[in-house]
Structure 1
Amino acid sequence: MRFALACCLLLAMAAPAGAASASAITADIQKQYESLKGFTADFKQMLKSAATGQVEEREGTISYKKPNLVRWETDTPEKELLLVGKKVVWNYVPSEKTASKSPLNAVFSSKTMIRFISGQANLDEDFVVEEQGTEAGLIKLALTPKKPEPNLVQAFLWVDPQSHMLRSVLIVDFYGNANKLGLDNIRINPGLSDSLFEFTPPKGVTVQDNTVSQ
């Protein structure tokens, strides 16, 4: 009886401690992203289809400037530019000579990868957060959305314990498809010009304007 009572007491004490730790970590992450003006990083992205098991890998660079400017350039396997500007979102594929223009809410109205890397996903308000120890020196957090969306039913974050910057993000959608992004060579507050987040379609490029009905 005493042993059972002791176990119950230990479990009761352990649960709040874990929750407090996760809460403290998310608070440090939010504080870091609220304080920074921007960053640049190299990225490696893995997209896995649950239906076919096919994996697509991408590499390139990401630049972010507060409050919501993003330049996401894929170099391999082919060139592609995703640019979140002040007024619209551009997606440009040079090899296809096509570019699409979309409203900003297409990116920031849901729990997208961009919301995570720009620090605009409110971790405590939007998710139930669980600390899962460390991997390769990084803190691992499991995130379960309080209001799941088709494009996000589970997420995992790997956080630098020193800078409190996200080093890796894994998003799993309703169908089990996985989108994992890893960031390296992160430079905080590099002093980015607004012109880096402007785009004019080159001559001969077909533009699909998705903002017309907005």
Structure 2
Amino acid sequence: MIGLGVAATLTSIAVGARNHFLKQVDTPGARPAGIGGSAYGADPAARRELEDAGAPAGVIALPAGGARTASGAAGLGTGASAAAAKTVVGSGDGARVPRAPDAAVMERSPTPAAEELAQNQEAATVLQRAAAAYDRVRSLRAEFVQHMENPLLGTRTTSRGTLYQRGADRFLLRFTDPEGDVIVSDGKYFWIYYPSVDQRQVIRAPAGPNGAGGVDLRAQFLGDPLTRFLPALEGTEVVAGREAYVLVLTPRMEAGYRMLKVWVDAKDSLVRRFEIAEENGSVRRFDLSNLAVNPALGDELFRFTPPPGARVIDRS
């Protein structure tokens, strides 16, 4: 799941929300919006609306398929034996003996507990495959559309752009709407420049485990993600004309967001959509298209130079 890798916004915003954002930026200790403190996925609309959460950096590549656990016979022994124990007939000498389960009992549907167990096992399988597959993704490029809903402000926004990611510490979000907004990680710093909000202000924050990009979506799937998430499989849906598994991931520990949902393509196992439910009630959804896996992405793509006269706010 890369969160695991997105955005641009409506060109007009409320003056009050904009001023509130600028005041927040100047507050000591403020951090760029992003899931778990990551600037990744923080769109201008969300920034202007003072979201204090965001999206993990990256996009997930999962292996094709997903073991389906046959649950048709699950719980049969329990159901049949229970029925047999309760249904008895009299023998000729007055003794009571169990009656064999009839066909209706034998064909009884699996119990809810058995179905839940099978679904949990399947969800864990999908998540483990994600961990194995994403280890092979070295770089990624994708176009994105982000939909953002903020119930506190009663707003819905849509933004667009292109995502570039290389490894765990290089990524670029280049917005096309509003054009010019960028979030860049050069491996040492996150550079966040929103000319749609303020042309003379740049935010700089440390990259790395303790910085603005400390949590990215790619990293969530490496190692043993089952120790970090409680997974649940919601079934399948069609995304951009392709079938995808819908996997809901609930963090087992503090993560900066409440829930992460990913749509994993059933054929190539790349994430075509992911959704973040943030702690403040906001929901972000990213739709990815034109994915390119392991493209050549040079260092120059991830360099950022503040424009002349811009004020650099250091969030070290």
Q: TM-score, normalised by structure 2?
A: 0.60
Question: Deviation digits for residues 29-82 of structure 1, max 9, x if unmatched?
Answer: 222211111010000011111113201111000001013211011110343111
- In the alignment, which residue of structure 2 is the partner of 1:47? 148
Contact 1:39 1:190 survives alignment (8 Å): yes
Contact 1:32-1:165 within 8 A present in 2 as well: no
Distance of 2:141 and 2:154 partners within structure 1: 31
Which has a greater percent of strand? Answer: 1
Q: Is residue 2:251 matched to residue 1:145?
A: yes
Counterpart in the other structure of 2:180: 79
Question: For the Cα contact (< 8 Å) 1:127–1:145, is it kept in 2?
Answer: yes
Residue 130 of structure 1 aligns with which residue? 232
- Flag structure 1 segments of 5+ consecutive residues without an equivalent: none
Return the alpha-carbon distance in structure 2 between the equivalents of residues 186 and 107 of structure 1.
25
**CA-CA distance at 1:188 after TM superposition:** 0.5
Q: Name the Cα RMSD after superposition.
A: 2.2
Unaligned 5+ runs, structure 2 = 1-81, 84-103
Cα distance between partner residues in 2 of 1:93 and 1:108: 17
Whether the 8 Å CA contact 1:61–1:73 is kept in 2: the answer is yes
Alignment of 1:40-189 (within 5 A): 40-95=141-196, 96-104=199-207, 105-110=210-215, 115-116=216-217, 119-122=218-221, 123-136=225-238, 137-149=243-255, 151-189=256-294
Work out the CA distance in 2 between the residues paired with 1:91 and 1:81. Answer: 6
Q: TM-score, normalised by structure 1?
A: 0.86
Higher CA-based Rg: 2
Q: How much has 1:103 moved relative to structure 2?
A: 1.1
Residue aligned with 1:61, SS: strand
Q: Percent identity?
A: 24
Once the two structures are TM-superposed, the CA of residue 182 in structure 1 deviates from its matched residue by 1.2
